[in-house]
Chain A
Amino acid sequence: MKKQDFFSELQKALEFENITFSEETNFKKIDGFDSLRVMMTIAFVDDKFGKKLSAKQLFTISTVRSLMELIGLENFEE
């Protein structure tokens, strides 16, 4: 998946309307990143990449980049 597409689709999936995502975005510091948004992240990764992430993994990361690393950087292109 193209990185730019990943950023915009993730932002849309998490319903953070006024923020433009990048690799450095610390999405967990955005107000409103709660259990429901963790679920939405799990759903997004399952749907787009067929990959299962645990809630524990998601609570240990913070930036979009670190989420990409969990998914596997080989899944992304510039």
Chain B
Amino acid sequence: MIIETYFPSKKLTNTDLETIFPDWSASKIEDKIGIKERFVAEDNETALDLAFEASRKVLKQFDKDRIDFLLLCTQSPDYFLPTSACILQNRLGLKTSIGAFDFNLGCSGFIYGLALAKSLIKTGIASNVLLVTAETYSKYLNPNDRANRSIFGDAAAATIVNNSDVNNIFEFDLGTDGEGKDNLILINGGMRNKVETTYIEWEDEAGNLRSNNFLFMNGPEIFNFTIEKIPVVVNNVLLKNSITMNDIDYVIFHQANKYMLDYLRKKLKIPEEKFYNNMLFTGNTVSSTIPIALKDCKDRSLILPGNKVLIVGFGVGYSWGGTILEI
């Protein structure tokens, strides 16, 4: 599986955030949330632009004429219509005899993308899938929302999944619970509620600035969701693959925040040396955190050929999924 990543050039550092929000502590952000810097797309730079750049990088290592399916995971499409994947096909100069579509998922997106890619290949519909995750949550954030501006970063990742990779993608455990819809949501701007031209801002009980025109995240409730669900997903993935945790060489969860990951690691009794917890220079890049982590691990030889890596994505929806990759 070839993976390439792309980040916008503009950075937002913790020092920048301290300047904007004088009561906000840069060292606390780094210490507790585990983020020092995050990349932020320019005003005229969209998730599709990031997807294009990541794809260009990966296609330097793979003949683009062999790509026969394109999957784009994003919650920040260029337009409601047409499908951004169609535009990406055109911009990349991929063949027109391929399938392409967007799918709207966040933190679980890469897992679902692998499930889709595996299914397409196993059924003979495709042989070489270009799976791209691309997100610009920064564009959904209230400029006064210091908490979420500290957490989220923009990025894209492009992964080639082909015939020979599919046997190294094991069985999945997937799940969905729309009961959690209100805990990570952008209320206005879709078909349910129009964008308010004059919007109200209010401070909620947690001291967060809220407005229906911007993204809202209830961090503590999402934390509750993860500590309840993720141990179950891990167990299910191991069971479905008749594998124990002892057989797993490395674990990569969606990189949401350092504190949550630390807690999950301890709860699941995973040794530190087998567990990825790093978003120091990227922030939470939503559907790209897992491919970014996989690439980082490969580049730094934290994972080696033949290793079994447990990957689990979880978040907005609620949506979650896990599987094992043999590198």
Contact = CB atoms under 8 A, between A and B. Distances in A.
Contacts of A46: 227, 267
B208 interface: yes
Contacts of B119: none
Contact of B219 (A36, A52, A56, A59): A36
Nearest to B183: A55
A55 B207 contact: no
Interface residues of B, number: 19
A42 interface: yes
B224 A52 contact: yes
25 contacts: A34-B147, A34-B206, A34-B207, A35-B219, A35-B220, A36-B32, A38-B206, A38-B219, A38-B220, A39-B220, A39-B259, A39-B260, A40-B259, A42-B220, A42-B223, A42-B227, A46-B227, A46-B267, A52-B228, A54-B221, A54-B224, A55-B206, A55-B224, A59-B205, A59-B206
Interface string A48-78: 0000111110110000000000000000000
A43 interface: yes
Contacts of B207: 34-35
Q: Nearest 4 pairs between A and B by C-beta?
A: A55-B220, A59-B205, A38-B220, A35-B206
A20 B279 CA distance: 34
Interface in B170-207: 205-207
A39 B218 CA distance: 10
Contacts of A47: 263, 267
Nearest to A58: B220
B263 A43 contact: yes
Contacts of B220: 35, 38-39, 42, 55, 58
A54 to B, nearest CB: 6
A26 B85 CA distance: 53
Interface string A15-26: 000000000000
B322 to A, nearest CB: 21
Interface of A: 34-36, 38-40, 42-43, 46-47, 52-56, 58-59
A49 to B, nearest CB: 13
A32 B27 CA distance: 14
B224 A36 contact: no
A31 to B, nearest CB: 10
A39 B206 CA distance: 11
B208 to A, nearest CB: 7
A36 B263 CA distance: 13
A39 B228 contact: no
A36 B258 CA distance: 11
Given A39-B219, A42-B220, A55-B206, 14 more contacts: A35-B220, A36-B33, A38-B206, A38-B219, A38-B220, A39-B223, A42-B223, A42-B224, A52-B228, A53-B224, A54-B224, A56-B221, A58-B220, A59-B206
Contacts of A39: 219-220, 223, 259-260
A52 B228 CA distance: 9
A36 B205 contact: no
Nearest to B221: A55
A43 B223 contact: yes
B158 to A, nearest CB: 33
B89 to A, nearest CB: 41
